[in-house]
């Protein structure tokens, strides 16, 4: 079967599952709401991160989206039906990842620009400039998309939504709120922290905005390759 109809079938699965649509909506709501609260209480030291502070919460919704989209295949024999229609497991997994990436990126871009506009309105004259703000909006979208795909790859390996979320959510919360301030350490190269460098006005670590996103992309690529290997090698 050609790639296009496989992708269309996977997109139908996503748009007809309310839990997935709810997760996409939660990305926008959580990011914009928590960012607005942070901007209202900002100290002015990093206005860009004050505008995009809510990404730390929005990415939890993003990983829930990526996890659920994949883990739903491992319930009730759904994967066997999918592979019966698409025997090429690599093509099926590529279509699944693409069907996750496209809406995540679209919602991520909407989230980035809405959050930027809300943050600028709250901060007023202390808001970051448009050039810096646009970099943050695009970085926000890319980071959220990469985290959704990272979760999707891990879900394909673990074959369980509960197991995947049990690993990723505590990991993100610990990295973000416990060791996340240790810049210049190995924590800067973890997927959560590396991708969020693009959301800061300035940075002290080894990574810059785009190199940080590249590190997150490497983590995501590794997770997707592991997920593809698991789908190819393990029984449905």
Q: Please check whether residue 106 is in contact with residue 191, taking contact to mean a CB–CB distance below 8 angstroms.
A: no
pLDDT computed for residue 216 by the predictor = 96
* Selection from 217, 185, 178 nearest residue 56 by Cα: 178
What is the span of the domain harbouring residue 44?
A: 3-178+185-233
Q: What average pLDDT does the segment 153-171 reach?
A: 93
d(CA 58, CA 60): 5
Contact indicator for 88, 117 with CB cutoff of 8 Å: no
CB 199 within 8 A of CB 137: no
- At 234 the pLDDT is 79
pLDDT at res. 183:
53
**Number of domains present in the structure of the chain:** 1
The percent of residues in the chain predicted with pLDDT above 70, rounded, is: 94
**Residue 39 pLDDT grade (very low, low, confident, very high; cuts 50, 70, 90):** confident
Q: Is pTM, for the whole model, over 0.85?
A: yes
- For position 179, what pLDDT does the model report? 66
- Measured CA to CA, the distance from residue 158 to residue 155 in angstroms comes to 5
Distance CA 140, CA 148 (A): 12
């Amino acid at each position: 079967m050609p790639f296009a109809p496989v992708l269309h079938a996977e997109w139908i699965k996503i748009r007809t599952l309310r839990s997935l649509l709810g997760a996409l909506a939660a990305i926008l709501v959580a990011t914009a709401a928590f960012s607005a609260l942070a901007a209202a209480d900002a100290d002015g030291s990093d206005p860009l991160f004050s505008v995009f502070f809510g990404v730390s919460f929005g990415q939890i919704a993003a990983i829930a989206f990526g996890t659920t989209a994949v883990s739903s295949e491992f319930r009730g024999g759904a994967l066997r039906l999918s592979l019966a229609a698409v025997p090429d497991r690599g093509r099926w997994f590529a279509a699944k990842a693409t069907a996750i990436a496209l809406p995540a990126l679209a919602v991520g871009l909407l989230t980035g620009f809405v959050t930027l506009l809300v943050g600028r309105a709250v901060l007023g004259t202390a808001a970051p400039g448009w050039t810096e703000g646009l970099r943050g909006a695009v970085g926000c979208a890319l980071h959220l998309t990469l985290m959704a795909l990272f979760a999707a790859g891990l879900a394909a390996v673990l074959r369980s939504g509960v197991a995947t979320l049990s690993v990723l959510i505590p990991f993100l919360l610990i990295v973000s709120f416990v060791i996340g301030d240790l810049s210049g350490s190995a924590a800067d190269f973890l997927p959560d922290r590396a991708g969020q460098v693009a959301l800061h006005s300035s940075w002290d670590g080894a990574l810059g905005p785009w190199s940080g996103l590249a590190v997150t992309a490497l983590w995501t690529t590794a997770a997707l390759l592991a997920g593809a290997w698991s789908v190819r090698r393990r029984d449905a």
